[in-house]
């Protein structure tokens, strides 16, 4: 298959289009005009050619206006390209991206991004299918760019990074997609152990008895209505070449299933709750990407894993529980369980003496109401982390939006009988959840909370994002650990 990227504001569609079009007696331009192809971002035309021709299909793809061309658009091009190629059993892809006349230095970025889109788009979850269908057919990817003088070393470094990231992203997707009868907390832990073994990371698993010793009664409480014991997973990456004094702790919410507990969810809301370990999946996926791409700082990957179920042993609305941090919590809704698990996991993370803590969680439906399903809420207490996270998400192209930790809503969490209660008002629900977490992280520790409830799962495939688990946040986290690479 031949893929051709086209800018909407260019008067012609480039030399490759022109040449092929001429060979095909104008078939390409005819299809484009029949389908009103203008080159707006993401627009696609697929032209099938007679079976005797060497090229079976031409995929024409809109890149939008050249001035707003970014790596993210090239990445989506790559993703759509590989998905169409696999669907149509193509064995090879020749992708053409036009010269964007950018400065020499950045000129490899769209090419690397296109490859990244291809790696990321080449994913399907088939583990549980008896008939796995056709496996991906594409074996060769050839990129043709009119861009002059690609720097080979920079290109190879770039490709290595995106390969490492894609490996981590695909792990996160597999974990989110795995059904909750198999992905129970102990299985999440053994997947983490396998990851540690693959890459020589340190790995500690805390079992229920260990959690008790650590006084992590909030985490234990959430798990006590389930027959599957809660676990805390702790992976550590230590660089061979330490070039930075940063010690980063990523902390993930790992609810392998969230039925709501006794504050039971209605059926429709429960249907997708296997994704409630999406924050944990992002952390584990990032640890894989980090182990492969080797940043110069220490990184802790910590996951609080549990299953939130209702049974005779489950926590009740009205219970007061004090966890590792010594703050008593009145639990008024057992479905606000992620913040309870994270409260203890965040306390545990602070014992590792991190210079910064970033937690990821499918924490609230309210965050989805606020931002839609494709954008994560970024609640950031520290301006330095904000600057760095923003740099990282601008490189990755993943969508985050900063949200306020409005202190005036703090009074909604005041309890008559305990230090704090676990729910606020319905309004501002994503913010009060963030404020709750904030209480469990010392003010001296730079901290951010990323609410990824929406983007960890996609109802429909688009660009390089497959249907189902998306692996959201993995690439941003990996990039975050590499921000000092150039300055060191």
Which active-site residues does the annotation give? 265, 339
Residue span binding ligand BES (CB under 6 A) among the ranges 20-28, 316-324, 331-339, 402-410: 331-339
Least distance to ligand BES from the beta carbon of 425, Å? 9
Residues in the chain: 488
The conformational region for residue 450 under phi > 0 = left, psi -120 to 50 = alpha, else beta, is beta
Least distance to ligand BES from the beta carbon of 361, Å? 8
Which of 338, 424, 429, 471 contacts Zn ion by CB under 5 A? 338
DSSP secondary-structure letter at 228? S
Least distance to Mn ion from the beta carbon of 79, Å? 31
262 vs 111: CA distance, rounded Å: 51
Residue span binding Zn ion (CB under 5 A) among the ranges 179-187, 276-284, 351-359, 477-485: 276-284
CA distances from 227 to 13, 18, 44, 136, 224 (A): 61, 65, 49, 39, 8
Closer residue to Zn ion in complex, CB, 100/337: 337
Closer residue to ligand BES in complex, CB, 359/362: 362
| Sign of the four-CA dihedral 278, 446, 439, 424 | negative
The beta strand positions in 172-309, using DSSP E, are: 202-206, 231-237, 247-258, 298-308
Closer residue to Mn ion in complex, CB, 3/278: 278
Query: Is 448 within 8 Å of 386 (Cβ atoms)?
Result: yes
Does residue 471 interact with Zn ion by CB under 5 A? no
Least distance to ligand BES from the beta carbon of 271, Å? 10
Does residue 337 interact with ligand BES by CB under 6 A? yes
Least distance to Zn ion from the beta carbon of 333, Å? 11
Residues in contact with ligand BES, shown as a per-residue x/- string from 275 to 314 under the rule CB under 6 A: -x--------------------------------------
**The two three-digit tokens of residue 84, written as one number:** 């169409």
Residue 397 binds which of Zn ion, Mn ion, ligand BES, none (CB < 5-8 A, kind-dependent): none
Closer residue to ligand BES in complex, CB, 96/339: 339
Residue span binding Zn ion (CB under 5 A) among the ranges 166-174, 271-279, 339-347, 467-475: 271-279
304 vs 176: CA distance, rounded Å: 15
Does residue 276 interact with Zn ion by CB under 5 A? yes
Does residue 335 interact with Mn ion by CB under 5 A? yes
Q: Which helix (H) or strand (E) holds 57?
A: strand 57-64
The conformational region for residue 361 under phi > 0 = left, psi -120 to 50 = alpha, else beta, is beta
List the 328-330 sheet strands across, edge first: 320-322, 328-330, 420-421
Least distance to Zn ion from the beta carbon of 126, Å? 27
| Sign of the four-CA dihedral 261, 263, 264, 270 | negative
Which of 218, 298, 366, 478 contacts ligand BES by CB under 6 A? 366
Which of 116, 174, 258, 307 contacts Mn ion by CB under 5 A? 258
- Judged by CB under 6 A, the chain residues 443 through 472 that form the site for ligand BES are 453
Residue span binding Mn ion (CB under 5 A) among the ranges 122-130, 205-213, 335-343, 479-487: 335-343
440 vs 417: CA distance, rounded Å: 19
Which of 116, 258, 307, 344 contacts ligand BES by CB under 6 A? 258
Q: Which residue is nearest to ligand BES (CB)?
A: 365
Does residue 307 interact with Mn ion by CB under 5 A? no
Closer residue to Mn ion in complex, CB, 120/435: 435
439 vs 322: CA distance, rounded Å: 13
Closer residue to ligand BES in complex, CB, 299/340: 340
- Angle CA(283)–CA(286)–CA(292) in degrees, nearest 5? 145
283 vs 300: CA distance, rounded Å: 9
Least distance to Mn ion from the beta carbon of 208, Å? 21
List the 298-308 sheet strands across, edge first: 202-206, 231-237, 298-308, 247-258, 356-361, 447-451, 376-380, 400-403
Query: Is 266 within 8 Å of 223 (Cβ atoms)?
Result: no
Query: Is 337 within 8 Å of 290 (Cβ atoms)?
Result: no
Closer residue to ligand BES in complex, CB, 63/453: 453
Residue span binding ligand BES (CB under 6 A) among the ranges 150-158, 314-322, 349-357, 360-368: 360-368
- Residues β-bridged to residue 140: 92
486 vs 482: CA distance, rounded Å: 8
Least distance to ligand BES from the beta carbon of 161, Å? 30
Query: Is 231 within 8 Å of 187 (Cβ atoms)?
Result: no
Least distance to Zn ion from the beta carbon of 469, Å? 16
Residue span binding ligand BES (CB under 6 A) among the ranges 232-240, 346-354, 361-369, 378-386: 361-369
Residue 366 binds which of Mn ion, Zn ion, ligand BES, none (CB < 5-8 A, kind-dependent): ligand BES
39 vs 20: CA distance, rounded Å: 18
Query: Is 176 within 8 Å of 275 (Cβ atoms)?
Result: yes
Kindly list the residues in this chain that would bind Mn ion in the complex (CB under 5 A): 258, 335, 337
Which residues are near Zn ion by CB under 5 A?
Answer: 255, 258, 276, 338
Residues that bind ligand BES (CB under 6 A): 258, 276, 333, 335-338, 362-366, 368, 423, 429, 453
């Amino acid at each position: 298959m031949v893929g051709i990227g086209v800018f909407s504001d260019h008067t012609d569609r480039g030399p490759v289009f022109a040449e092929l079009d001429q060979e095909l007696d104008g078939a390409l331009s005819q299809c484009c005009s029949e389908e009103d192809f203008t080159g707006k971002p993401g627009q696609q035309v697929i032209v099938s050619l007679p079976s005797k021709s060497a090229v079976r299909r031409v995929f024409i793809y809109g890149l939008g206006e050249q001035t707003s061309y970014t790596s993210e658009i090239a990445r989506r091009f790559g993703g759509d390209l590989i998905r169409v190629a696999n669907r149509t059993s193509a064995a090879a892809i020749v992708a053409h991206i036009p010269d964007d006349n950018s400065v020499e230095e950045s000129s490899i970025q769209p090419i690397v991004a296109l490859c990244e889109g291809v790696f990321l788009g080449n994913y399907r979850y088939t583990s549980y299918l008896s008939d796995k269908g056709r496996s991906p057919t594409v074996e060769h990817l050839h990129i043709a760019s009119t861009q002059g003088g690609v720097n080979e070393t920079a290109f190879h470094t770039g490709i290595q990074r995106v390969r490492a990231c894609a490996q981590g992203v695909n792990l996160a997707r597999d974990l989110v997609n795995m059904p909750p009868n198999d992905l129970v907390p102990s299985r999440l832990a053994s997947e983490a152990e396998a990851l540690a073994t693959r890459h020589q990371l340190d790995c500690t698993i805390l079992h229920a008895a260990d959690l008790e010793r650590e006084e992590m009664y909030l985490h234990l409480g959430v798990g006590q209505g389930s027959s599957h014991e809660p676990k805390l997973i702790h992976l550590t990456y230590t660089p061979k070449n330490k070039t930075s004094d940063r010690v980063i702790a990523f902390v993930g919410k790992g609810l392998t299933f969230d039925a709501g507990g006794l504050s039971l969810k209605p059926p429709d809301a429960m249907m997708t709750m296997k994704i409630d370990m999406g924050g944990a999946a992002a952390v584990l996926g990032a640890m894989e990407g980090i182990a492969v791409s080797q940043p110069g700082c220490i990184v802790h990957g910590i996951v609080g894993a549990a299953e939130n179920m209702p049974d005779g042993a489950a926590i009740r609305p009205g219970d007061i529980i004090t966890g590792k941090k010594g703050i008593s919590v009145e639990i008024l809704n057992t479905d606000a369980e992620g913040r309870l698990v994270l409260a203890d996991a965040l306390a545990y993370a602070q014992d590792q003496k991190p210079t910064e803590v970033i937690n990821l969680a499918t924490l609230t439906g309210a965050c989805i109401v606020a931002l839609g399903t494709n954008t994560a809420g970024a609640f950031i207490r520290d301006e330095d982390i904000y600057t760095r996270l923003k740099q990282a998400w601008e490189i990755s192209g993943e969508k985050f939006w900063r949200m306020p930790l409005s202190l005036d809503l703090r009074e909604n969490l005041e309890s008559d009988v305990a230090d704090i209660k676990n729910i606020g008002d319905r309004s501002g629900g994503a913010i009060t959840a963030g404020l709750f977490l904030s209480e469990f992280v010392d003010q001296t520790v730079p901290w951010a909370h990323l609410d990824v409830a929406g983007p960890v799962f996609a109802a429909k495939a688009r660009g390089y994002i497959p249907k189902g688990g998306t692996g959201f946040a993995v690439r941003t986290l990996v990039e975050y650990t590499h921000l000092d690479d150039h300055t060191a």
